[in-house]
Chain A
Amino acid sequence: MVYRPTFRKQGDGSRCQWVNCGPASHAMAAQRHRRGVDPRTPHSWPPMPPEIRNYISPHSCGGTSLQDNDAATTHMYLVNMDVRYGVPWTTFRSLIISGRGAVVQIRYSVIAPTRYDASPGFTGNHAVYVNERRASDGAFLVYDPMADHRRAGIPQGPQWWPASLLQRAAYAMPGTAAGCVNASFTRDTV
């Protein structure tokens, strides 16, 4: 059984909440990386999005990158993610199957027309946490930090996204090499 971290929503009322997809996704990834075990650093455990945000930009908001978040989780929780760019889809799949979680960058315009849309009207750059792949149909268990069911019609918590949907959304991230994804991987926890 793959370890499943606690779902963390970005819309938690904290500073920068609507640009906190990166910190929220990395909070979940950090918990997976450590299989829930407290590293006993000076930072509180389990990882929470506002604390990661406060490390990245204590006095301002704005979007965060994979590198920003990796620096934060390494410092705060001793979670050194493997940040990779231009990852072929089949290799991404292998990394998940072999026991790693991943934060994946996506373009939300691909998700917007589907039942997985957790932010009606939003079509920009976003980050989600992917925990595992289901062998029976190839779907991925995606933790979209906006999926908090804050009103009717918005999904709640982790959802099984069809592989083709995650793939298309990741491919659509502007500036990404054709047929590839950008992602940050946890250690192999299996």
Chain B
Amino acid sequence: MPAKDQKKPAPKAKASIEEHKAHADAFLADPKYKVKPTTLNDTSDEAKP
């Protein structure tokens, strides 16, 4: 999901907490980001001891 597909850009880092909260809530409410891409293998690998 490229960033350009977003309806509204995220606020700047120094924006108010309220602006960040509003953006976060709107984003999480958008169902399209819940869909796992078919190309993604998101399982973890075995690390080194």
A interface residues with partner B (beta carbon < 8 Å) = 10-11, 18-19, 21-22, 62-67, 82-91, 93-95, 97-100, 105, 108, 119-122, 124-127, 135, 138, 146, 150, 173-180, 182, 185, 188, 190
Q: Do A119 and B44 touch (CB < 8 A)?
A: no
Which residues of chain B are near A119, meaning CB under 8 Å?
Answer: 47-48
Q: A87-B33, A173-B42, A174-B41 are in contact. Are A180 and B48 (CB under 8 A)?
A: no
Once the chains bind, are A175 and B39 in contact (CB under 8 Å)? yes
B39 to chain A, nearest CB (A): 4
Decide: B47 and A98 in contact? CB cutoff 8 A.
no
Q: What's the nearest-Cβ distance from chain B to residue A183, in Å?
A: 10
B45 to chain A: which residues have CB within 8 Å? 19, 63, 108, 122, 124-126
B-side interface size class: 20 to 34
Q: What residues of chain B lie closer than 8 Å to A89, measured between beta carbons? A: 3
The reply to whether B37 and A177 form a contact with Cβ atoms under 8 Å apart is: yes
CB of A90 within 8 A of CB of B34, answer: no
Say which residue of B35, B41, B44 sits within 8 Å of A126 (CB atoms): B44
For B2-40 the 0/1 string (1 means CB < 8 A from A) is 110010011101100100110110011000011111011
Minimum Cβ distance to chain B for residue A70 (Å): 11
Contacts of A177 in B (CB 8 A): 1-2, 37
Query: Could you tell me if B3 and A180 are in contact, using CB atoms closer than 8 angstroms?
Result: yes
For the complex, what is the distance from the CA of A146 to the CA of B40, rounded to whole Å?
23
Whether A21 pairs with B44 at a CB distance below 8 angstroms is yes
CA distance A67 to B40 in the complex (A): 13
> Given A62-B43, A63-B44, A98-B17 in contact, is the A90-B49 Cβ separation under 8 Å?
no
Chain B residues, Cβ within 8 Å of A22: 44
Task: Report yes or no: B2 in contact with A179, Cβ–Cβ below 8 A.
Answer: yes
